[in-house]
Protein backbone atom coordinates (compact mmCIF):
# COMPACT_ATOMS: atom_id res chain seq x y z
CA UNK A 1 0.00 0.00 0.00
CA UNK A 2 1.43 3.37 -1.02
CA UNK A 3 1.04 6.10 1.53
CA UNK A 4 -0.03 9.54 0.38
CA UNK A 5 2.53 12.30 0.04
CA UNK A 6 3.92 14.20 2.99
CA UNK A 7 2.55 17.72 3.33
CA UNK A 8 5.10 20.16 4.73
CA UNK A 9 3.81 23.46 6.02
CA UNK A 10 6.16 26.30 5.11
CA UNK A 11 6.31 29.93 6.20
CA UNK A 12 9.89 30.85 5.37
CA UNK A 13 11.16 30.31 8.90
CA UNK A 14 14.22 28.49 10.19
CA UNK A 15 11.90 26.35 12.32
CA UNK A 16 10.36 24.88 9.18
CA UNK A 17 13.73 24.25 7.54
CA UNK A 18 14.64 22.36 10.71
CA UNK A 19 11.34 20.43 10.49
CA UNK A 20 12.11 19.40 6.90
CA UNK A 21 15.52 18.13 7.96
CA UNK A 22 14.03 16.17 10.86
CA UNK A 23 11.36 14.71 8.57
CA UNK A 24 14.05 13.54 6.14
CA UNK A 25 15.85 11.79 9.00
CA UNK A 26 12.72 10.21 10.48
CA UNK A 27 10.72 9.14 7.43
CA UNK A 28 13.40 9.01 4.75
CA UNK A 29 13.34 10.81 1.44
CA UNK A 30 11.58 8.17 -0.65
CA UNK A 31 8.18 9.81 -0.06
CA UNK A 32 6.71 12.45 -2.32
CA UNK A 33 6.50 15.82 -0.60
CA UNK A 34 4.22 18.78 -1.19
CA UNK A 35 5.37 22.01 0.44
CA UNK A 36 2.58 24.51 1.02
CA UNK A 37 2.63 28.14 2.11
CA UNK A 38 -0.63 29.74 3.19
CA UNK A 39 -1.19 33.32 2.07
CA UNK A 40 -3.12 35.28 4.66
CA UNK A 41 -6.74 35.82 3.66
CA UNK A 42 -6.97 38.66 6.19
CA UNK A 43 -4.55 40.72 4.08
CA UNK A 44 -6.68 40.14 0.97
CA UNK A 45 -9.84 41.06 2.90
CA UNK A 46 -8.22 44.28 4.11
CA UNK A 47 -7.24 45.09 0.51
CA UNK A 48 -10.79 44.55 -0.70
CA UNK A 49 -12.08 46.82 2.07
CA UNK A 50 -9.58 49.52 1.14
CA UNK A 51 -9.48 49.22 -2.65
CA UNK A 52 -12.73 47.53 -3.64
CA UNK A 53 -12.75 45.52 -6.84
CA UNK A 54 -9.16 46.44 -7.69
CA UNK A 55 -7.96 44.34 -4.77
CA UNK A 56 -8.02 41.16 -6.88
CA UNK A 57 -4.48 42.05 -7.91
CA UNK A 58 -3.48 42.03 -4.23
CA UNK A 59 -4.92 38.53 -3.83
CA UNK A 60 -2.97 37.30 -6.86
CA UNK A 61 0.23 38.88 -5.53
CA UNK A 62 -0.27 37.23 -2.13
CA UNK A 63 -0.59 33.84 -3.84
CA UNK A 64 2.49 34.48 -6.02
CA UNK A 65 4.49 35.45 -2.92
CA UNK A 66 3.30 32.34 -1.04
CA UNK A 67 4.21 30.10 -3.98
CA UNK A 68 7.65 31.73 -4.19
CA UNK A 69 8.24 30.94 -0.50
CA UNK A 70 7.03 27.37 -1.01
CA UNK A 71 9.35 27.02 -4.01
CA UNK A 72 12.30 28.17 -1.85
CA UNK A 73 11.55 25.29 0.47
CA UNK A 74 11.14 22.88 -2.46
CA UNK A 75 14.74 23.61 -3.42
CA UNK A 76 15.82 22.91 0.17
CA UNK A 77 13.75 19.69 0.36
CA UNK A 78 15.12 18.47 -2.98
CA UNK A 79 18.61 19.15 -1.71
CA UNK A 80 17.89 16.63 1.06
CA UNK A 81 16.65 14.11 -1.53
CA UNK A 82 12.87 14.55 -1.37
CA UNK A 83 10.75 14.52 -4.54
CA UNK A 84 9.10 17.84 -3.76
CA UNK A 85 6.51 20.16 -5.31
CA UNK A 86 5.30 23.55 -4.08
CA UNK A 87 1.73 24.77 -3.53
CA UNK A 88 0.12 27.94 -2.25
CA UNK A 89 -3.34 28.60 -0.91
CA UNK A 90 -5.16 31.70 0.34
CA UNK A 91 -6.97 30.90 3.58
CA UNK A 92 -7.94 31.99 7.06
CA UNK A 93 -7.25 30.70 9.54
CA UNK A 94 -3.95 29.22 8.37
CA UNK A 95 -4.71 25.72 9.67
CA UNK A 96 -7.78 25.55 7.42
CA UNK A 97 -5.70 26.11 4.28
CA UNK A 98 -3.23 23.43 5.36
CA UNK A 99 -5.98 20.90 6.05
CA UNK A 100 -7.64 21.78 2.72
CA UNK A 101 -4.47 20.99 0.77
CA UNK A 102 -3.86 17.84 2.84
CA UNK A 103 -7.34 16.64 1.90
CA UNK A 104 -6.85 17.53 -1.79
CA UNK A 105 -3.60 15.58 -2.12
CA UNK A 106 -4.54 12.73 0.22
CA UNK A 107 -1.58 13.47 2.49
CA UNK A 108 -0.45 10.55 4.61
CA UNK A 109 1.40 12.83 7.02
CA UNK A 110 1.63 16.54 7.77
CA UNK A 111 4.93 17.99 8.98
CA UNK A 112 4.90 21.37 10.69
CA UNK A 113 7.47 23.33 12.64
CA UNK A 114 6.68 24.88 15.99
CA UNK A 115 7.95 28.16 17.35
CA UNK A 116 7.14 26.98 20.89
CA UNK A 117 6.11 30.31 22.39
CA UNK A 118 6.60 30.63 26.13
CA UNK A 119 4.94 32.45 28.97
CA UNK A 120 2.20 34.91 28.13
CA UNK A 121 2.85 34.52 24.38
CA UNK A 122 1.87 30.85 24.64
CA UNK A 123 -1.47 31.87 26.13
CA UNK A 124 -2.17 34.68 23.67
CA UNK A 125 -0.84 33.38 20.33
CA UNK A 126 -2.80 30.94 18.23
CA UNK A 127 -0.86 27.77 17.62
CA UNK A 128 -1.10 26.71 13.98
CA UNK A 129 0.54 23.38 14.78
CA UNK A 130 -2.00 22.67 17.53
CA UNK A 131 -4.91 23.63 15.27
CA UNK A 132 -3.62 21.50 12.38
CA UNK A 133 -3.23 18.51 14.70
CA UNK A 134 -6.75 19.02 16.05
CA UNK A 135 -8.42 19.30 12.63
CA UNK A 136 -6.31 17.30 10.15
CA UNK A 137 -7.75 13.83 10.72
CA UNK A 138 -4.37 12.29 9.88
CA UNK A 139 -0.94 12.00 11.53
CA UNK A 140 0.82 15.30 12.19
CA UNK A 141 4.51 15.55 13.04
CA UNK A 142 5.11 18.73 15.03
CA UNK A 143 8.83 19.46 15.14
CA UNK A 144 9.90 21.85 17.90
CA UNK A 145 12.71 24.35 17.49
CA UNK A 146 16.15 22.82 17.70
CA UNK A 147 17.82 23.12 21.09
CA UNK A 148 20.62 25.17 19.56
CA UNK A 149 18.09 27.63 18.13
CA UNK A 150 16.23 27.81 21.48
CA UNK A 151 19.47 28.50 23.36
CA UNK A 152 20.49 31.22 20.89
CA UNK A 153 17.04 32.85 21.11
CA UNK A 154 17.09 32.95 24.91
CA UNK A 155 20.44 34.66 24.98
Q: pLDDT of 8-50, one tens digit each?
A: 998 888 888 999 999 999 998 888 999 999 987 665 556 555 5
Write the pLDDT tens digit of every residue in 54-84: 656 777 888 888 899 899 989 999 999 999 9
**Angle, nearest 10°, between helix axes 41-51 and 56-80?**
160
* pLDDT for the residue 15: 87
Estimate the share of the chain in helix, then strand, then coil, as percent rounded to the nearest 5. 55, 20, 25
Q: Is the pLDDT of residue 126 over 70?
A: no
Distance of alpha carbon 148 from its chain centroid, rounded?
A: 22
CA distance 121 to 104: 33
Write the pLDDT tens digit of every residue in 130-152: 899 999 999 999 998 876 544 55
Average pLDDT, the chain: 82
Question: Where do the domains of the chain lie, and which CATH numbers do they carry?
Answer: 6-154 (3.40.50.620)
* pLDDT for the residue 1: 46
Percent of the chain with pLDDT over 90: 46
CA distance 86 to 53: 29
CA distance 102 to 6: 9
* pLDDT for the residue 119: 53
Distance of alpha carbon 16 from its chain centroid, rounded?
A: 8
The answer to whether 62 and 39 are in contact (CB under 8 A) is yes
The answer to whether 143 and 23 are in contact (CB under 8 A) is yes
Amino acid sequence: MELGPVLICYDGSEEVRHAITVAAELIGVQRRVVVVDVAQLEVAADAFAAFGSGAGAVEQQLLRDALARADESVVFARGLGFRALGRAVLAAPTWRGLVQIADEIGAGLIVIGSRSPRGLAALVERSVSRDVAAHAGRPVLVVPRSRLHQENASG
